[in-house]
């Protein structure tokens, strides 16, 4: 990976998950969190997003915050200072294999590019998830995955007992992150928020700079492993909290600002 000429004066890097972490109950950045991000930038601390969401969604959500760097689609598409530094396309053959297997259970897939997402057919589980995230339902386009570069897949299943079947069958191909009662994020084996964060840090050439991460979900555990200090939200599960160095308040009780202050990243 080629390193870019960047401003290397950052005193620290702080990675934020979005849903259940930086975002409030309405899937928006609160005024308090917005101000905290602006203050970090002013203090030469780089705020970055690390999320399962797409680049388009991240840019829409963070508009006005001056955030220009992120790990998106669970490490599949990564940007530093508005420049793409790495992206990992899922081969069409592998998408077809997973699609055939998932449809045998009546489970649907949503295919993500950097700007769009689509499915062959809608399911009730799908409707529940996008309503929970306050996001538009995917377009119905049966050949979408054949016509675009796909970076992440979303598998919709409420049958948690079947997760192991997917993990076993595709153990050499995909990694599955159950991130809601309704869905699993699917990325290429070896890719994750952890891998994406490492690619971003390498691009910034800031290996010695302190790194922090805030998260609440299972797909944030890898992110916690990639940074010096892992901070879990109080709304995280006990399993996620067990991987954290510090537990802050929940995402709806000013947990971000309190966590930043705990580590003297905010005045």
**Catalytic positions, written as ranges:** 17
Which residue's structure tokens are 């944030």? 220
| Contact (Cβ atoms closer than 8 angstroms) between residue 51 and residue 179 | no
Q: CA nearest 155: which of 89, 74, 61?
A: 74
The Cα 68–Cα 82 span in angstroms is 5
The Cα 228–Cα 106 span in angstroms is 41
Query: Which are the contacts of 172, defined by CB distance < 8 A and separation ≥ 6?
Result: 189
Q: CA nearest 74: which of 50, 47, 39, 105?
A: 50
The Cα 242–Cα 230 span in angstroms is 10
| Contact (Cβ atoms closer than 8 angstroms) between residue 78 and residue 71 | yes
């Amino acid at each position: 990976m080629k390193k870019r000429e960047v401003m290397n004066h950052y005193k620290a890097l702080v990675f934020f998950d979005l849903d259940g972490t930086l975002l409030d109950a309405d899937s928006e950045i609160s005024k308090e969190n917005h101000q905290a991000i602006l203050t970090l930038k002013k203090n030469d601390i780089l705020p970055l997003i690390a999320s399962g969401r797409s680049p388009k969604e991240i840019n829409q959500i963070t508009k006005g915050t001056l955030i220009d760097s992120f790990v998106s689609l669970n490490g599949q598409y990564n940007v530093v200072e508005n420049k793409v530094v790495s992206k990992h396309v899922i081969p069409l053959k592998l998408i077809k294999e997973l699609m055939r297997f998932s449809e045998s259970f009546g489970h649907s897939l949503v295919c993500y590019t950097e700007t769009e997402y689509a499915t062959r057919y809608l399911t009730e589980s799908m409707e529940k998830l996008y309503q929970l995230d306050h996001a538009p339902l995917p377009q119905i386009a049966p050949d979408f995955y054949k016509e675009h570069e796909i970076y992440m897949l979303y598998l919709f299943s409420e049958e948690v007992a079947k997760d192991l079947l997917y993990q076993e069958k595709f153990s050499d191909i995909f990694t599955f992150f159950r991130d809601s009662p309704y869905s699993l994020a699917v990325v290429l084996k070896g890719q994750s928020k952890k891998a994406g964060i490492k690619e971003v840090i390498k691009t910034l050439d800031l290996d010695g700079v302190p790194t922090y991460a805030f998260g609440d979900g299972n797909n944030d555990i890898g992110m916690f492993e990639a940074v010096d200090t892992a901070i879990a939200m109080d709304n995280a599960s006990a399993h996620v909290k067990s991987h954290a160095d510090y537990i802050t308040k929940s995402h709806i009780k000013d947990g971000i600002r309190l966590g930043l202050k705990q580590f003297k990243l905010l005045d």
